[in-house]
Amino acid sequence: MPRIAGIDVPDKKKIYFALQYIHGVGPKYAADILTEASINPETRANQLTEQDIANINSIIDSSYIVEGALRRQVGQNIQRLKDIRAYRGERHRRGLPVRGQRTRCNARTRKGRKKTVAGKKGIKG
């Protein structure tokens, strides 16, 4: 397995898709990196030379924030929102959706499993 940006990327996959296993590298950045390194996106990751891997690593190190540094930056951004008591920070603190989604009937990913509330069923009127 080639090590790119400190991550073992799958060696049987095409390098275009293998680069996307790095946190912070999506389809656009993967294409940009390969264009800058002048590597064919159809090449398998295990067919790259040591020179190609070193070239990709240097491009990623110089131009992109990936993996641990990116996770740390996102965490700091969220913490800043919490510290300044912004609306989005409050939503993060309460574990509710941050980007305006409805919470009346959905949002189970953020809210967790249903908490059953007793006392609603027996009321007739």
- Does the 68-111 domain belong in CATH 4.10.910.10? yes
* CATH architecture, range 3-63: Orthogonal Bundle (1.10)
C-alpha to C-alpha distance for 30 and 34, rounded to whole angstroms = 6
Supply the pTM of this predicted model. 0.80
Average pLDDT of the chain, as a whole number: 91
From residue 26, give the alpha-carbon distance in Å to each of 16, 17, 30, 109.
Answer: 9, 9, 6, 23
Please check whether residue 33 is in contact with residue 26, taking contact to mean a CB–CB distance below 8 angstroms: no
Please check whether residue 25 is in contact with residue 60, taking contact to mean a CB–CB distance below 8 angstroms: yes
Map out the domains of the chain as residue ranges.
Answer: 3-63, 68-111
Rg of the Cα atoms in the chain: 22
Per-residue pLDDT reduced to its tens digit, 88-119: 999 999 999 999 999 988 889 999 998 888 87
The widest CA-to-CA distance across the chain, in whole angstroms, is 78
